Each structure stands twice: as structure tokens, then as C-alpha cells.
Chain A
Amino acid sequence: MQKKINYFIILSGIIILAYGCYPGGPEYYSDLDLVTTNYSPEFWDNNSPMTYFMPDSLGYIIDRDDPDNNDTISINDSDLILELVEENMTTLGYNRLDTIDEFNQPDLVLFSQVLVVKVTYGGYYPWYPWWDGYYPYWSGYWYDYYWGYIPVAYSFSVGTVILEMVDYHSIDTVNKNLDVVWVAGIDGLLRESSKTNEKVLSDQIDKAFYNSPYLNIQ
């Protein structure tokens, strides 16, 4: 009987040891780095956009229905993000328009946004600080439009930078619909905004464009 008890103790130890060795996955923040892109092949196969308009401030993806679900992160790198995005677009051969009017119609509108929704369940909508007021160079006022997303869900964490390109020529003002033809999500890039160094920002944003060779028009 004593022998069997000894075996039992030894075997229990082996099982607990085996369980303790179960692989644990990511250990550091950097292990969670993620850059994902998606696009509309239909658009990029049939169009050759040359110009784009980009708001000169960072937008926020918010939960309009539940304000308590929005985080209050402070973002110190918004100008840098916009600069990096513009640099990449210039490298790819695009020309940025400063205004939109009847004589300046861009092919694309590029939105740079940060997700501040704490718990994401489904689709959330962008909000720009200037949408509550007057924006001198903006003829559109699209905050209540439906954004026709290609399938990259907003199931990211707070601080994720989301870049979205909209096909300007297909904006449906009657049905209030915007076609998003490219989207990039850089997960948690601003999760610790004050500590995010420029190199990380630069590398991750560059990677989003590098992973999207169909954007290159040169």
C-alpha cells in the first residue's frame, strides 16, 4: 500500500510539473505589437488615385452611445503620426491637397485616428475635434455617415492607431455612405503615449504602408 501511495505522490508531481511548463505566450508589451492592413481589391484594381486629402488633426474612434466606455488617454504624438503618414504617402507618389472644393477634388481622403473605446463589441465611429465646430478647409461634415468598412473590426485595444482611406469619388451624400478602401490598425501603439518613442511609431507606421504594396502608384 505504501508503495502505491509513493507512486501516487510521484505521478501527481509529474502532472503538476507538466502543467507548470505550459507555454505562456507573450511576456512583454513588444510581444503584442501588431500591424494589420486590409484593402478593397475591387477599388485598387480599377482605380489609380493620385491625390488625397488628410485632416490635419488626429481623430478619435469613440463609443457615442456610452461615453463611460471611452478612455481618456493623452496623446502627445499626434503631429508626429500625421507627419509619418504624410511622408509615407509622398514616398508612394501621392500628392496631398490642402483643401477640398469644387476645383480641388481629391481621389482619397485619409483619416488618421486613435481608438479610445475601452471595451469594443462591434463597429465604432470616428470623431474629430473639429466636427463639433467650424473647420475652415472642410466642405464635408461626415460624422453621421455610415463608414462602409472593409472587414477589419475595431477589436483592438485602447491606443490603437487606425488609418483609413476613403474613396472620395464614391461618397454617397444621399445615403450618407463612405467607402473605406484601405485600413491599417497599429494595435496599442499609443497605449503608453508618453513613453512611445519615435522609432517605434515610425517603424510601425512604415510597416503598415510597406505591407500594402498595392498603394504604390509610382
Chain B
Amino acid sequence: MKKLILFLGLYIAFAIGSHAYAQGDFVINYNTSIALGETNDFISKYSFRGFSMEGRWEVADEIYVGVSGAWTVFYESEKGTFVNETRTTSTTQYRYINAYPLLVSGYKYFTLSSKGLSFYTGFGIGPYYVETKKDYSIWTETNNGWQFGFAPEIGFAIPGPLDADILLSIKYNYAFKTSSVPEFSSLGINIGFIY
């Protein structure tokens, strides 16, 4: 429930914030992604659970800046035997990653047609809050913390209904490891709209 409240709060803040500011656009994406690198060692299953919200403002001709928040959940269960030093455990292990990138991004748009089709490329930086969790039987091992990361992105903006553009994008997320949290990386395919 805390996650829902957090994201409804963020969502409302973005929605109000982006429209309160002159000429601001509001972006919402449905995010799917695959974990990469060390993150993939923890969970290799493709995630279909994620979304992001963004306020995006045009600061110069076809150049935008955005402030975004996202939530992606990776999940995998595995029945097996797990060895940790001298301890051996046979059980069903449930592994979760909840990743919350909070990014400030810059975008460059390239108009491809007079009907409004555009290609864009972007690059975001900012803090990531990443929580990894292992559940097995009644035990839980949680590891979480803030990390600094970046996220390059490419995509298309396609004119859609109700004065909105449909967004199709590919985004790479990478957050540097810290002393307490391993690196996080993922590649996402996103679909959403901007209005």
C-alpha cells in the first residue's frame, strides 16, 4: 500500500506540476524491461510491470527538459538448493527488485514529417532507489539504497488521438554500485503518450 500511495502522490504532483507550468507536457509510459549484467544474475525474467511519469517542457526549438519518476518491478521465483558459505538451503526462493529512478533529462527532437512524426533522443541523470529482496519461507533478506545513475533513451513521438502523441521508446538504465548496493542496469521498451 505504501508503494501505491507513493506513486499516486508522485503522479498527482507531476500531473499538477506539468500543467501548472506554461506549455508543460505530461508523459506517462508503460515500461517493460530486462535486467542486464549483475542485475540479470539476480533476476533474469523479463519484467512487464512498470510505468513512469514525466513533466516535460520545451526550452528551445525542439529541445526539451524533463523531470521523471518511474517504478519497475522485477520478479522471479526459483525452486532449488542455494549454498551460502556453510549454509545450504532447499526451498522456493522469491526474488524481487523494485527500482525507482528519479531523473532530470534533456531531449532533442527531430521532426520527420509534416504530420508531426518525430524522432527524439534523450539522456537523463539522477538518483535511483533500488530495493532487492529475497523471500524464502518465513525469511526475508532485503538490500536497498540510493545510487546515482544515468539513462540514455531514443524514441518516436507519433501523433495520436485527443491532442496526444504516442511515444515508443527504448531506454537503458544504469545505476552505479555503492558500498552497500550492487549496480543496477536494465534495458526497457516503453509505450506511452504525451499530452
| Contact code string B131-145 (vs A, CB < 8 Å = 1, else 0) | 000011111000000
Q: How far is the CA of A31 from the CA of B4 in the complex (A)?
A: 26
Number of interface residues of B (CB under 8 A): 38
B51 touches A18 (CB 8 A): yes
Q: How far is the CA of A41 from the CA of B86 in the complex (A)?
A: 8
A116-172 residues with Cβ-Cβ distance < 8 A to B are 150-152, 155-157
Q: A150 — which chain B residues lie within 8 A by C-beta?
A: 86
B91 touches A12 (CB 8 A): no
Q: Given A7-B195, A23-B96, is A35 in contact with B51 using a C-beta cutoff of 8 Å?
A: no
A15 touches B11 (CB 8 A): yes
Q: How far is the CA of A187 from the CA of B49 in the complex (A)?
A: 32
A211 to chain B, nearest CB (A): 4
B30 touches A36 (CB 8 A): no
B164 to chain A, nearest CB (A): 8
B23 within 8 A of A: no
B1-24 residues with Cβ-Cβ distance < 8 A to A are 3-4, 7-8, 11, 15, 19
Selected from A6, A22, A38, A212, the residue in CB contact (under 8 A) with B49 is: A22
Q: A6 — which chain B residues lie within 8 A by C-beta?
A: 162
Number of interface residues of A (CB under 8 A): 39
A161 to chain B, nearest CB (A): 13
Q: How far is the CA of A163 from the CA of B164 in the complex (A)?
A: 65
Q: Given A14-B51, A18-B51, is A26 in contact with B11 using a C-beta cutoff of 8 Å?
A: no
Q: How far is the CA of A37 from the CA of B84 in the complex (A)?
A: 10
- Name 27 interchain pairs, CB-CB below 8 A, sorted by A: A3-B163, A4-B19, A14-B28, A14-B30, A16-B4, A18-B50, A19-B3, A19-B7, A25-B135, A32-B137, A32-B138, A34-B91, A34-B136, A36-B90, A37-B88, A38-B86, A38-B88, A39-B86, A152-B87, A155-B139, A157-B137, A187-B91, A187-B137, A187-B138, A188-B137, A211-B81, A212-B88
B residues engaging A (CB < 8 A)? 3-4, 7-8, 11, 15, 19, 26, 28, 30, 48-51, 53, 71, 73, 75, 77, 81, 86-92, 94, 96, 135-139, 162-164, 195
Other A-B pairs beyond A12-B8, A25-B135, A212-B88, 19, CB < 8 Å: A3-B162, A7-B162, A7-B164, A11-B15, A15-B7, A15-B8, A18-B71, A22-B73, A23-B49, A23-B73, A33-B90, A33-B92, A33-B137, A34-B137, A35-B91, A36-B91, A41-B86, A150-B86, A207-B90
